[in-house]
Amino acid sequence: MAAILDARGLHKNFGAVTAASDINAAIEKDSVVGLIGTNGAGKTTFINMITGYLKPDRGRIHYEGRDITDLAPRDVTRIGICRSFQIPQLYASLTAFENMMIGIGVVLRNAGRGGFFSRGRPLVPGYDLPAEDVADSILQRFGLAEYRDRNAQVLPGGVRKLLDIALTLVAKPRLLLLDEPTSGVSAEEKFEIMEMIMQAVRAEGITVLFVEHDMEVVSRFAERVLAFYDGRIIADAAPGVALSDPEVKRFVIGGELRRLDEARAGTRA
């Protein structure tokens, strides 16, 4: 299977902090990869470098054979890589529908449609429907139709997360990077939400990378796991293998399981 994304030798330092140290990863087309690791291990930095928000100090990133290391986030989006955020990045003063419409407007403009001289209702590339229909259909797919006309800032946490992810589909990405898609969501809902996301996404044949702290979610949805620790990738295998790796157990899961046990025993407030 061809590699849709290939990161080679990525290094990134912020002063004394090493956020990435010799990161190498080749992501296969159509696969679903889980990124695990404790906070500060370098997962979001990895995503930030792929999407051009940060430039690596050393190393190159290739997407579909093309070197994208120096591209800005807007160019990375235009070529087919979209991402969601740990903290949902929404337009607070606009409604959910308007949030979608802004994104769709940008896609139209990038395709040369809907500009100053155009007439009628232009069709959104990839969907072949007018903008409003695309917005409504995506909102529907994520179960957000009832929040259509409510301002983003008053939406409940889980809904904001879903909207943030829904926005990523507007540009018809071929590679999707989800940064903690289920964080801030109750334990019972995590699976439901991941199901909904995966269904909406996999139907389009999109390659997915997702950052996740819940190991059960990872085992269930990921075909492959990349474990991060201290800026390095310490494991790269199928979930069954990666999650039993002693280093992973020690540096990643160990922390998670300990917190889970403590939560169950009620020793944490």
Partner 1 sequence: MKIVNVTHGSFYALGAYAASSITGALLAQGMPPSLSYAVLLGSALLVTLVVAPLIERGILRFMYAKDEVVILLITYALFLILEDVIKLVWGVNPYFIAEPYGLLGSFDVLDLTYPYYNLILVGVAIVCGAGLTWLLGSTRTGKLLVAVIHDTEISRAMGINVERMYLFTFTFGSLLAAIGGAFTAPTVSVVPGLGVEVIVLSFAVVVIGGLGSLPGAALGAVIVGLVRSATIHYLPQAELFVIYLVMAMVLAFRPRGLFSLAEARKI
Partner 2 sequence: MSTDRTPRTLGLILAALLAFGQWLPQWTLFLVTIALAKGLVVLGLMILLRCGLVSFGQALYYCIGAYAAGLLGRLFGLSDVFTLMLAGMAAAALAAFALGFLLARYRSIFFGLLSLALSMILYGLLVKTEALGSSDGFHVLRTTLLGIRPADPWVRYAVLAAAAVAATAAALLVHRYLATPLGKLAPAIKDNEIRVEYMGASARHAIHVKYVIAAALAGLGGALAATTVGHIDPEMAYWTTSGEFIFIAILAGTGSVIAPFLGALVFGIIQTVAFDVSPNTWQMVLGSALLVVIVFLPNGLWSLFRRRKAA
| Residues contributing to the site for partner 2 (CB under 8 A) | 51, 72-74, 77-78, 82-83, 89-94, 101-103, 105-110, 114-116, 167, 170-171
153 binds partner 1 (CB under 8 A): no
List the single partner that 72 binds among partner 2, partner 1, none, CB under 5 to 8 Å by kind: partner 2
**Radius of gyration (Cα) for the chain, nearest Å?**
19
Q: Which long-range contacts (CB under 8 A, 24 or more apart) does 39-45 make?
A: 41/228, 41/229, 41/230, 41/231, 41/252, 42/12, 42/228, 42/230, 42/231, 42/232, 43/179, 43/211, 43/228, 44/86, 44/179, 44/211, 45/12, 45/19, 45/20, 45/231
Q: In the sheet that 175-178 helps form, which strands lie side by side, from edge to edge? A: 81-83, 175-178, 207-211, 32-36, 224-229, 232-237
Angle, CA of 163, 164 and 170, to the nearest 5°: 85
List the single partner that 94 binds among partner 1, partner 2, none, CB under 5 to 8 Å by kind: partner 2
Strand partners, 36: 227
Q: Which is nearer to partner 1, 44 or 182 (CB)?
A: 44
| Nearest distance in Å: CB 85, partner 1 | 6
| Nearest distance in Å: CB 76, partner 2 | 8
Which of 33, 34, 37, 44 is close enough to bind partner 1 by CB under 8 A? 44
Binding mask 172-211 toward partner 1 (x if CB under 8 A, else -) reads ----------------------------------------
List the single partner that 44 binds among partner 2, partner 1, none, CB under 5 to 8 Å by kind: partner 1
110 binds partner 1 (CB under 8 A): no
Q: Which is nearer to partner 1, 85 or 147 (CB)?
A: 85
53 binds partner 1 (CB under 8 A): yes
Single out the residue of 254, 205, 202 nearest to residue 227, CA to CA. 254
Q: Which is nearer to partner 1, 51 or 207 (CB)?
A: 51
Q: Which is nearer to partner 1, 87 or 263 (CB)?
A: 87
Distance CA 179, CA 167 (A): 14
Q: Which is nearer to partner 2, 51 or 182 (CB)?
A: 51
| Nearest distance in Å: CB 51, partner 1 | 10
87 binds partner 1 (CB under 8 A): yes
Q: In the sheet that 17-28 helps form, which strands lie side by side, from edge to edge? A: 17-28, 3-14, 58-63, 66-67
The phi and psi torsions of 263 (rounded to 5 degrees) equal -65, -45
The phi and psi torsions of 62 (rounded to 5 degrees) equal -115, 140
Summarize as ranges the residues that interact with partner 1 (CB under 8 A).
44, 48, 53, 85-87, 89
